[in-house]
Amino acid sequence: MLNLKFIQDKPELVIEKLKRKNFDASEIVKNIINLYRQKNVLQGQADRVRSEMNKISKKVGLLFREGKAEEANIAKARTIELKENIKQYDIDFAEIEKSIYKLQVQLPNLPHESVPLGKGEDDNEVVKSVGEFPELGGKALPHWELAQKYNLIDFELGVKLTGAGFPVYRGKGARLQRALINFFLDQAREASYEEIQPPLMVNEASGFGTGQLPDKEGQMYHVGIDNLYLIPTAEVPVTNIYRDVILDAKNLPYKNTAYSACFRREAGSYGKDVRGLNRLHQFDKVEIVQIAHPEKSYEVLDEMVKHVESLVVKLELPYRILRLCSGDISFTSALTFDFEVYSAAQKKWLEVSSVSNFESFQANRLKLRFREEGVKRPQLAHTLNGSALALPRIVAALLENNQTKEGIKIPKVLVPYTGFEIID
RNA sequence: GGAGAGUUGCCGGAGUGGUCGAACGGGGCAGUCUCGAAAACUGUUGUACCUUCGGGUACCGGGGGUUCGAAUCCCUCACUCUCCGCCA
């Protein structure tokens, strides 16, 4: 959510920058500024009436105490009209605020200067591309067949137990999952992220804080009887730790990591890239989150990108880093780097991480602020997060890329975690 | 699931109709004292919005009501805690 004052101060900037996101904000911005002016006028008037009301009330109290009941009653009579006024002001004011809010949440975050112009995913900028595609010859199997061959993942069983998109990992498949989770968490801890084990369900306020609610409600599983939502990512509970909080500037940045299962309804995405592990309703992910000082947040973003890169390097996967273009970047993000690994049997790039700086867009909604020494007013902090990493597509690439006649080779770095070197 | 208690500022906790943005204690910050520190003493210490920059307004879990006036009374919702039952 963009800051109201900012919109009012720099409407042209907002419109110009959102144009890059292919979003025409001119009408909304105009309306917001209009309503904002009205709101201020209204508040001025309402406050004056309230002020008078308060004065009279005080006077009435005094008069009664002095036994001047008659004078008191005269004063009382005057309040009848004022009361009506206040009531009406309250109604109008609430309405105008609601209108502003409705418009405000429609505006996406402004893209960072470095975001390349573009219409969609084809226009993303490849920042770097590292590693050779493995030569597998003609008999390479896609991961869903490997998973079956070595009895690692049972998709059919998942359908029986729950439904499509809920695979059952077993044997070395299950152990590989656990190994990856521990590996990622250990790496994050070494990069001084504090580990969090968050709830897997959140309340409405949290869903709202990170922007899943009210609009993207359909993406989350809703537990109606208790009005809770299954988290689509650990970002939701972890970032909401800082909701309604004023941090001390000298403690920034705050760094957290969390492993969690993630639940996504993925409504409307049936039929496309859904084979095997490519798109699931439940999957595992380790997330990293940082709360940063506005002046430092792009350094922090850089650091997070490097951290994620170190993971794919250690896993010996061919990868590339994309700087998302203005047409592909998410609603809430100012700058996003995607990580893709190459899955050699499917012969395609799979997105395994998305690292973003939201600047103050999330913080504004979360009321996440920090206080700087010597500065009276708290300021909005910047929030950043990234996957480090999402498991299923990593597993897909590992299985496909490392298949040999003897079996599937486990990358060296993972062996201490899996306890085995090969799946055969 | 049954019964009860509660939700006040950074924390503890008082306040049951007016002078309460809120006693008191703790914590934080600043000062005095000290070579320095501790102790003691003194002061200070919420957020948001509006402003003609004098000031004004709102907020004591959320919403609604009564009243000239509500942290305080009434209604309603949410949450938390305790005991019993059940249970990983």
Q: How many CB atoms lie within 10 A of CB A51?
A: 10
**3-class SS of residue A241:** coil
Q: Determine if strand B comes within 7 Å of the CB of A50.
A: yes
pLDDT for res A271? 62
pLDDT for res A304? 98
Amino acid making up residue A371: R
Distance in angstroms: CA A9, C1' B3: 57
Whether the link from the prior residue into A228 is cis, omega within 30° of 0, is: no
Q: Taking Cα atoms as reference points, which of A295, A316, A290, A307 lies closest to residue A383?
A: A290
Q: Determine if strand B comes within 7 Å of the CB of A369.
A: yes
Instruction: Round the CA-based radius of gyration of chain A to a whole number and report it.
Output: 27
Q: Determine if strand B comes within 7 Å of the CB of A88.
A: no
Interhelix angle for A11-20 vs A26-65, to 10°? 140
Q: Determine if strand B comes within 7 Å of the CB of A64.
A: yes
Whether A203 has a pLDDT exceeding 80, the answer reads yes
Shortest CA–C1' contact from A60: which nucleotide? Answer: B68
Judged on CB neighbours under 10 Å (0-12, 13-18, 19+), A367 is: middle
Whether A268 has a pLDDT exceeding 80, the answer reads no
Shortest CA–C1' contact from A47: which nucleotide? Answer: B57
Distance in angstroms: CA A245, C1' B34: 38
Mean pLDDT of A364-378: 88
Nearest protein residue to B52's C1' (by CA)? A44
Torsion of CA A265, A266, A272, A277, to 10 degrees: -60
Mean pLDDT of A318-342: 96
Shortest CA–C1' contact from A56: which nucleotide? Answer: B68
Mark residues 122-161 of chain A whose C-beta is closer than 7 A to nucleic acid strand B: none
CA A386 – CA A354 distance, rounded (Å): 5
Whether A421 has a pLDDT exceeding 90, the answer reads yes
Distance in angstroms: CA A105, C1' B76: 30
pLDDT for res A250? 86
Q: Determine if strand B comes within 7 Å of the CB of A78.
A: no
Q: In terms of DSSP bridges, do strands A319-323 and A335-343 run parallel, antiparallel, or are they unpaired?
A: antiparallel
pLDDT for res A77? 84
Q: Determine if strand B comes within 7 Å of the CB of A374.
A: no
Q: Taking Cα atoms as reference points, which of A236, A147, A182 lies closest to residue A389?
A: A182
Share of chain A above pLDDT 90, in %: 76
Q: What is the pLDDT of residues A135-193, one digit of tens each?
A: 887 788 999 999 999 999 999 999 999 999 999 999 999 999 999 999 999 999 999 99
Nearest protein residue to B79's C1' (by CA)? A203
Domains of chain A (ranges, CATH numbers): 4-104 (1.10.287.40), 121-423 (3.30.930.10)
Distance in angstroms: CA A200, C1' B1: 25
Q: What is the pLDDT of residues A204-245, one digit of tens each?
A: 889 988 988 877 778 899 988 888 999 999 999 999 999 999
Shortest CA–C1' contact from A86: which nucleotide? Answer: B57
Whether A269 has a pLDDT exceeding 70, the answer reads no
Tokens encoding A424: 């055969």
Nearest protein residue to B57's C1' (by CA)? A47
Work out the pLDDT band at A318, boundaries 50, 70, 90.
Answer: very high
Amino acid making up residue A19: K
pLDDT for res A239? 94
Shortest CA–C1' contact from A369: which nucleotide? Answer: B47
CA A177 – CA A159 distance, rounded (Å): 19
Q: What is the pLDDT of residues A27-83, one digit of tens each?
A: 999 999 999 999 999 999 999 999 999 999 988 888 887 778 788 888 888 888 888
pLDDT for res A76? 84
How far apart, in Å, do the first and last CA atoms of chain A sit? 51
Q: Can you spell out the DSSP letters for A336-402?
A: EEEEEEEETTTTEEEEEEEEEE-TTHHHHHHTEEEE-TT--S-EE-EEEEEEEEEHHHHHHHHHHHT
Q: Determine if strand B comes within 7 Å of the CB of A61.
A: yes
Phi, psi (rounded to 5 degrees) for A371: -115, 130
pLDDT for res A211? 86
Mark residues 266-325 of chain A whose C-beta is closer than 7 A to nucleic acid strand B: none
Distance in angstroms: CA A27, C1' B9: 42
Residues shown for chain A: 424
Q: What is the pLDDT of residues A8-19, one digit of tens each?
A: 999 999 999 999
- Contact indicator for A17, A112 with CB cutoff of 8 Å: no
Using a 7 Å cut-off to protein CB atoms, list the covered nucleotides of chain B. Answer: 18-19, 47-52, 55-58, 68-69, 79
The complex's ipTM works out to: 0.86
Q: Average pLDDT of chain A?
A: 92
